[in-house]
């Protein structure tokens, strides 16, 4: 039913946003109009709007929005969307709201293609660079809010073409230059506060009903003094730093309106006295007004917590119980008085946190409230702790089958890195030169898995973010194919480094091995004790410990235990890593600890966990090694001979003690990973 272009566009938008839980939304296919996907508006078979304001969305907009066939409204404001604004925008757009996100980069020049646009809000983001000179064709644009970003540079000349503009908010940026370009616009509401604009203010702007301009260098206009008494130039239309001259007038008439003919002043002393008196009076009035403003602000700061978006009339719930707004210390601008749809009495009574329904952007803003303006308040930014993966951190990217085919040279043999229980791993190079490892899952592995299950798995794996765990870069779910795209680890596996690759083996000094053990222990500690939800690896072995460019440990296959075939426990035992309790079918955190002990044994002895080529009694490393761990002579004889005695026997002995604890037959006696981390950390600190 839904136009196939719209399905394609919304699928990829969903992927880019990191497939958050949105009712109905799918990464591939579906019928948004027929199935009534959350926030999707349709007319017949076309998507006309996507409204997901304050929906806790993360991810990015790295997507070709231009694919939407006839969308007129996109409202993704007040979320946690990062990255930049895509340049390919739907030319059918009339309202485009992205305010209150984490957007970076510059405003795309392709704005110029949006000839139907009436409302655009990009405020409260981290946009930088100059405002593009893209307004020539935007003749319908009525409301534009770019406030509270890091925009710089002068006003682009094409802004003078905004013949329908009534509301323009540019406050809280670092914009420079003069304002001449705005002087003939039909503005009713203009806010340019807290920028670096220089004067003079074009007189026409002073006639705008709702004009706010303070916090710019031109706000301090120096009243000229008679040359006889002061050597200052008569006219000071240039920007001046505040406080230079004792006679300062804030937001008064521009200097061009002040008397500046020195001859006139000289000849008419009484005029001068009148000016001084008038000036003094103004200063007194302004001081009194300023005091009122401060009192009002202070009162509001105490009572109101609201994020402003004058076009969207949406106030975020900032209560500490709202998980999307954990406590933090970043400063964000909070506007207490710009919610045009709110009647004044509501604003004044608004002592509590509240959420207001979406309203269309106003065309006629009300008069400003006394003391309104930008209040800077500390606001929570989502923070990431080991146990709390916030929504706006990097989500895995969607890759199409076609693109992966291209990057892996059609999954060629030359690109094949290895095969495992779940499928094959290929090396791939992305267009930006980044090398990744593509794990192509066997269809048999996922026979029972629905697309939703797979996406749930991708989501969980992507949340596992730790220095010693291989990061998930992306995924593919298309045409029945399912693939994981991981960071590529250049130095292969610890298994190969210890047992096959002589070049890397040479680099594995005793100290390096203790460090590798420590890093691997930290990865398991994270999985067992910190991540959410906790993870039992269930396939921990030296072949799943990858080594990056600097020979740091990156444990792989984390969070994939649910994909493993039922035979995996016997396979793990066959490889020499399986704990005794696996025989009774139970696999617990302690079983991972046992496997970790076996990896430590490999590091100590340089032997494989299971080696068919050894005499019968030596094939299983653990059986051969355990009786020797507490005999100092036997221990020194079992150390990897390639280490050439370059270690302290005390260090070896401590290492052996930790192994003994890990490989105990009774799972409950094995230490938790955090204890092992502490022991290994202690060894590295005292440089044993």
Ligand X SMILES: Nc1ncnc2c1ncn2[C@@H]1O[C@H](COP(=O)(O)OP(=O)(O)OP(=O)(O)O)[C@@H](O)[C@H]1O
By CB under 6 A, name the binding residues for ligand X.
417-422, 425, 437, 439, 470, 486-489, 492-493, 539, 543-544, 546, 556-557
- DSSP letter for 526, please: I
d(CA 535, CA 222): 67
CB 563 to ligand X: min, Å: 9
CB 422 to ligand X: min, Å: 5
- DSSP letter for 200, please: P
CA 366, 367, 370, 373 torsion-angle sign: positive
> Coil, helix or strand for 98?
coil
Q: Which is nearer to ligand X, 75 or 557 (CB)?
A: 557
CB 217 to ligand X: min, Å: 54
Task: Answer whether the bond into residue 535 is a cis peptide, omega within 30°.
Answer: no
Let me know: does 97 contact 75? Beta carbons within 8 Å. yes
Q: Which is nearer to ligand X, 222 or 575 (CB)?
A: 575
CA distances from 33 to 24, 44, 65, 334, 451 (A): 10, 8, 17, 36, 20
Q: Is residue 64 left, alpha or beta, with left meaning phi > 0 and alpha meaning psi from -120 to 50? A: beta
Residue nearest to ligand X (CB): 420
Cα dihedral 127, 131, 137, 143 in deg (nearest 10): 60
Q: Which is nearer to ligand X, 548 or 611 (CB)?
A: 548
Q: Which is nearer to ligand X, 148 or 446 (CB)?
A: 446
CB 352 to ligand X: min, Å: 50
Residue where the block lists tokens 């059609």: 410
* Token code pair at residue 449: 């898995």
Residue where the block lists tokens 């907009």: 61
Q: Which residues pair with 493 in a beta bridge?
A: 546
- DSSP letter for 447, please: T
- DSSP letter for 633, please: H
Q: Which is nearer to ligand X, 362 or 423 (CB)?
A: 423
Q: Which is nearer to ligand X, 219 or 544 (CB)?
A: 544
CB 416 to ligand X: min, Å: 9
CB 510 to ligand X: min, Å: 25
Give the residue among 145, 425, 478, 133 at the shortest CA–CA distance from 308.
Answer: 145
d(CA 165, CA 187): 6
Exposed/middle/buried for residue 267 (C-beta within 10 Å: 0-12, 13-18, 19+): exposed
Q: Which is nearer to ligand X, 265 or 556 (CB)?
A: 556
Q: Which is nearer to ligand X, 125 or 408 (CB)?
A: 408
CB 239 to ligand X: min, Å: 56
Give the residue among 302, 296, 195, 177 at the shortest CA–CA distance from 238.
Answer: 177
> Coil, helix or strand for 58?
coil
CB 541 to ligand X: min, Å: 7
d(CA 299, CA 308): 17
CB 465 to ligand X: min, Å: 15
d(CA 335, CA 105): 24
CB 670 to ligand X: min, Å: 22
Q: Which is nearer to ligand X, 69 or 546 (CB)?
A: 546
Q: Which is nearer to ligand X, 420 or 672 (CB)?
A: 420
Where are the strands (E) in 76-114, listed by range? 95-97
CB 176 to ligand X: min, Å: 47
Tally of CB atoms within 10 A around 248: 18
Q: Which is nearer to ligand X, 407 or 486 (CB)?
A: 486
Give the residue among 280, 278, 291, 300 at the shortest CA–CA distance from 347.
Answer: 300
CB 476 to ligand X: min, Å: 15
**Paired sense of beta strands 545-547 and 553-555, if any:** antiparallel
CB 469 to ligand X: min, Å: 11
CB 354 to ligand X: min, Å: 48
Let me know: does 428 contact 408? Beta carbons within 8 Å. yes
d(CA 680, CA 688): 10
Q: Which is nearer to ligand X, 549 or 633 (CB)?
A: 549
Let me know: does 336 contact 256? Beta carbons within 8 Å. no
Q: Which is nearer to ligand X, 12 or 556 (CB)?
A: 556
CA atoms within 13 Å, Cβ hemisphere of 518: 16
Give the residue among 88, 92, 13, 86 at the shortest CA–CA distance from 46.
Answer: 92
Q: Which is nearer to ligand X, 338 or 463 (CB)?
A: 463
> Coil, helix or strand for 564?
coil
d(CA 519, CA 523): 6
CB 557 to ligand X: min, Å: 5
Q: Which is nearer to ligand X, 12 or 544 (CB)?
A: 544
């Amino acid at each position: 039913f839904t136009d196939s272009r719209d399905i394609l566009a919304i699928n990829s938008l969903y992927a880019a946003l990191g497939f958050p839980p949105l009712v109905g939304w799918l990464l591939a296919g579906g019928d948004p109009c027929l199935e009534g996907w959350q926030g999707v508006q349709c007319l017949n078979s076309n998507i006309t709007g996507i409204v997901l304001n304050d929906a806790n969305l993360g991810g990015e907009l790295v997507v070709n929005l231009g694919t939407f066939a006839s969308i007129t409204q996109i409202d993704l404001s007040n979320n946690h969307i990062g990255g930049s604004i895509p340049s390919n925008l739907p030319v059918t757009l009339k309202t485009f709201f992205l305010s209150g996100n984490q957007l970076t980069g510059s405003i795309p020049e392709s704005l110029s293609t949006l000839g139907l646009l009436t409302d655009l809000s990009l405020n409260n983001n981290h946009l930088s660079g100059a405002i593009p000179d893209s307004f020539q064709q935007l003749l319908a644009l009525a409301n534009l809010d770019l406030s509270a970003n890091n925009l710089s540079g002068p006003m682009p000349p094409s802004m003078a073409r905004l013949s329908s503009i009534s509301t323009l908010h540019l406050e809280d940026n670092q914009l420079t230059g003069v304002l001449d370009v705005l002087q003939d616009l039909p503005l009713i509401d203009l806010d340019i506060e807290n920028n670096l604009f220089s004067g003079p203010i074009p007189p026409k702007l002073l006639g705008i009903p709702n004009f706010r301009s303070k916090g710019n260098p031109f706000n301090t206009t120096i009243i000229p003094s008679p040359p006889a008494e002061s050597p200052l130039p008569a006219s000071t239309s240039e920007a001046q730093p505040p406080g230079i001259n004792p006679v300062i007038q804030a937001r008064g008439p521009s200097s061009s309106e002040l008397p500046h003919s020195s001859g006139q002043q000289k000849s008419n002393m009484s005029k001068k006295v009148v000016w001084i008196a008038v000036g003094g009076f103004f200063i007194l009035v302004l001081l009194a007004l300023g005091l009122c403003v401060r009192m009002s602000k202070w009162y509001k700061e105490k009572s109101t917590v609201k994020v402003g978006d004058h076009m969207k009339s949406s106030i975020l719930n900032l209560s500490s119980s709202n998980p999307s707004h954990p406590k933090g210390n970043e400063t964000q601008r909070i506007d207490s008085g710009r919610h045009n749809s709110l009647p004044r009495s509501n604003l004044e009574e608004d002592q509590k946190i509240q959420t207001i329904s979406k309203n269309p952007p106003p065309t006629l803003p009300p008069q400003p409230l006394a003391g309104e303006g930008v209040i800077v308040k500390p606001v929570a930014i989502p923070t990431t702790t080991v146990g709390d993966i916030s929504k706006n951190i990097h989500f895995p990217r969607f890759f199409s089958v076609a693109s992966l085919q291209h990057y892996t040279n059609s999954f060629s043999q030359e690109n094949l890195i290895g095969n495992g229980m779940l499928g094959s791993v290929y090396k791939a190079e992305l267009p930006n030169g980044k090398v990744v490892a593509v794990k192509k899952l066997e269809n048999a592995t996922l026979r029972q898995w629905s697309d939703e299950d797979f996406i749930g798995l991708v989501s969980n794996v992507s949340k596992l973010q730790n220095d010693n765990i291989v990061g998930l870069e992306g995924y593919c779910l298309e045409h029945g194919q399912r693939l994981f795209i991981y960071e590529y680890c250049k130095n292969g596996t610890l298994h190969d480094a210890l047992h096959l690759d002589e070049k890397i083996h040479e680099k594995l000094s005793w100290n390096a091995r203790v460090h590798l053990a420590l890093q691997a222990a930290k990865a398991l500690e994270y999985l067992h004790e910190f991540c959410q939800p906790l993870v039992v690896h269930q396939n921990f072995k030296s072949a799943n410990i990858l080594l990056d460019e600097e020979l740091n440990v990156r444990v792989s296959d984390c969070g994939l235990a649910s994909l493993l075939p039922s035979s995996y426990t016997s396979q793990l035992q066959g490889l020499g890593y399986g704990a005794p309790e696996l025989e009774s079918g139970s696999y617990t955190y302690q079983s991972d600890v046992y496997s970790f002990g076996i990896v430590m044994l490999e590091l100590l002895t340089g032997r494989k966990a299971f080696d068919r080529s050894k005499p019968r009694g030596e094939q299983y490393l653990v059986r051969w090694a355990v009786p020797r761990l507490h005999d100092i002579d036997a221990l020194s004889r079992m150390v990897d001979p390639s280490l050439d005695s370059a270690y302290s026997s005390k260090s070896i002995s401590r290492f052996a003690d930790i192994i003994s604890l890990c490989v105990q037959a009774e799972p409950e006696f094995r230490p938790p990973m955090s204890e092992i981390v502490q022991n290994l950390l202690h060894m590295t600190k005292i440089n044993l």
